[in-house]
């Protein structure tokens, strides 16, 4: 379907699936598990305090139209490895149209400098980025 402003029709605009997907991803992106595996790593970082795992700048799946807001599913659907902890919070900071930092709060205290990774632990886990109008 192609909608027109005014009373004069223009030729139908044909776009490939990839072009249309990229245009849609400017407004909303949702990261979740795919395929048969429910485990999927979102990113790796280090503990900059005893309870905060900072995952350096993570790129979105494409360039957003504006700095998005992020949201997540329930915390018990995620896992901080190698500690097997469910995070108590996930915060997106310094969002830009290209990516953001992710700060994950662990329920357990770790040594500053320890490495860690954030995983989708089960089906139903997601992170989404919204730059709707």
- The Cβ of residue 101 has, within 10 Å, a number of other Cβ atoms equal to 16
pLDDT tens digits, one per residue of 49-101 = 999 999 999 888 889 999 999 999 999 999 999 999 999 999 999 999 999 99
Tell me the pLDDT band of 33, cut-offs 50, 70 and 90: confident
Please check the confidence at residue 109 and state whether its pLDDT lies above 70. yes
Give me 100's structure tokens.
């953001």
To the nearest whole percent, how much of the chain has pLDDT over 90? 62
Q: Using the 8-state DSSP alphabet, how is residue 68 labeled?
A: P
Give me 72's structure tokens.
């997540």
Return the pLDDT at 3.
Answer: 84
């Amino acid at each position: 379907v192609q909608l027109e402003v005014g009373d004069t029709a223009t030729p139908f605009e044909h776009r490939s699936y990839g072009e249309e997907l990229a245009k849609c991803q400017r407004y909303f992106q949702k990261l979740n598990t795919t395929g048969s595996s429910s485990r999927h790593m979102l990113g790796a970082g280090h503990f900059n305090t005893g309870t905060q795992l900072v995952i350096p700048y993570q790129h979105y799946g494409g360039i957003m139209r504006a700095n998005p807001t992020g949201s997540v599913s329930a915390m018990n659907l995620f896992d901080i490895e190698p500690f097997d902890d469910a995070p108590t919070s996930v915060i997106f900071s310094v969002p830009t149209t290209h990516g953001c930092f992710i700060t994950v709060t662990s329920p357990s205290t770790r040594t500053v400098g320890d490495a860690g990774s954030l995983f989708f632990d089960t089906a139903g886990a997601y992170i989404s980025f919204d730059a709707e109008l």
